[in-house]
Amino acid sequence: MCERDEFHADDRIRLSRRAFGALTGGASVAVLWGGSAARAEEVAGTDVEIATPDGTVDGYFVHPASGKAPGVIMWPDIYGLRPAFREMADRLAGSGYAVLVVNPFYRDARGVVVKEGEEMSAAIERLRPYARKLTPAAVVSDATAFAAWLDAQPAVDTGRRIGAVGFCMSGSYTVRAAAALPDRVGAGASFHGGGLATDAPDSPHRLAPETEGRFLFAIAQNDDAKDPQAKMLLAQAFGDRAEVEVYPADHGWVPPDSARHDEAQAEKAWGRMLALLEGGLA
């Protein structure tokens, strides 16, 4: 729902120099998330490149410094791969997962695709042509390549299933990945995801019978106000395999660099994701 979201004039991407400098220097996961890093495992992260049928993806791979861990694919929101998502990947790795966070716009651009302080609606207008290339077929092709890459990494426990995590435009990617790879994707978490349940014949919720995993659909209150039927369609399609909840926070509340970030509700959603992954990645 990112493309249809409503913005205020002062809604801007908060890519501070502190965040850039700290995170690219291998900082603790506590940079933007408070003191939680004290309880995290030591992690090792590196920039990676992954071959797909459409080109080479730039991404970030982080995992516990020792042993093997279940793999997780993380797609960013429409603002792309940036320090906040590297940080969230670090935090998730600290909870015992091998996390690959990718640049979804690799077909058009590498690295960070938003500018520090850029106004949100202006950024979306500029990035919309990139997003249009992420068709259902392209998403499935990418997800298949990402899962295969994860399975080839020594840090990934291939005896356990893979998780898929998406935000905003990529919330629906979690369902498409799970439907395309039902034997590998055991859990999907969508945070303020858009386009999950529509009247379209290829709406993601119609893929529920093709999936085998469990799901978390964390819905923003303003998204629900615009489309209250979506949550009901998701609940009906996935039944007891999904947790569907409307959070008292606005679209974009989870990423810590978002103008809509709500720390309390983001922490709640993060905790629900950890519970989902623990139970789904057997």
User: Distance (Å, rounded) from C-alpha 89 to C-alpha 31?
Assistant: 13
Output the pLDDT for position 41: 83
Residue 114 gets which letter from DSSP? S
User: Distance (Å, rounded) from C-alpha 150 to C-alpha 197?
Assistant: 29
> What would the pLDDT profile of 99-125 be if each residue is shown by its tens digit?
999 999 999 999 999 988 888 888 999
Among the listed residues 148, 272, 280, 266, the one whose alpha carbon sits nearest the alpha carbon of residue 216? 272
> What would the pLDDT profile of 65-111 be if each residue is shown by its tens digit?
999 999 999 999 999 999 999 999 999 999 999 999 999 999 999 99
User: For residue 243, what is the enclosing H or E element?
Assistant: strand 242-247
Pair 164, 190: CB distance under 8 Å: no
Binning pLDDT at 50, 70 and 90, where does residue 5 land? very low
Q: Walk me through the domains of the chain, giving residue ranges and CATH numbers.
A: 7-280 (3.40.50.1820)
Alpha-helical segments (H) within the chain:
17-24, 30-33, 83-94, 120-132, 136-151, 171-180, 221-226, 229-238, 263-280
Percent of the chain clearing pLDDT 70 (strictly above): 86
> What would the pLDDT profile of 202-230 be if each residue is shown by its tens digit?
999 999 999 999 999 999 999 999 999 99
